[in-house]
Amino acid sequence: MKRSLRMAVAPVMGALLLTGVAAPSLAEPTFSSEQVALMASGCANCHGTDGRLVGSVPTIAGRPAAVLETRLLAFKHGEPGDTTIMDRIAKGFTDEELAALAGHFAAIDPVDKDDSNNAQEPQE
């Protein structure tokens, strides 16, 4: 019993070691703009294109990155409270990915100057 368990685990351990060597350092993760854009594309379903939607779902475009990151980390790690859905969404990302998403949306102008339908200031 013991032996068969060890035999089953050994290849998995080997694979983990191999991927550990190949994976980039977790301490300083960097994401390409393509990677962040891919992660951020799912947010548009609720927060509007580029996070600019104004309404029942809070605007995230153009908000300070530190605020967005704090909120995302609270959704992920905090007690369930003032959240309906973001707790479950935030759990799908690493802390580093949430920081990258916060930076992504903070850098977007909340008013899309090219879209007259969306030319309103976000509500606080």
Whose Cβ is closer to ligand HEC: residue 52's or residue 60's?
60
In the shown chain, the binding pattern of residues 27 to 66 toward ligand HEC, with x for contact by CB under 6 A and - for none, equals ---------------xx-xxx---------xx-x------
Q: Is 117 helix (H, G, I), strand (E, B) or coil?
A: helix
**Which C-beta is closer to ligand HEC: that of 6 or that of 91?**
91
Task: Build a one-symbol-per-residue string for 89-108: x at contacts with ligand HEC by CB under 6 A, - elsewhere.
Answer: x-----------x-------
Toward ligand HEC, which CB reaches closer, 89 or 112? 89
| Interacting residues of 109 by C-beta distance below 8 A, sequence separation 6+ | 61, 62
Angle at 52 between CA 87 and CA 108, to 5 degrees: 100
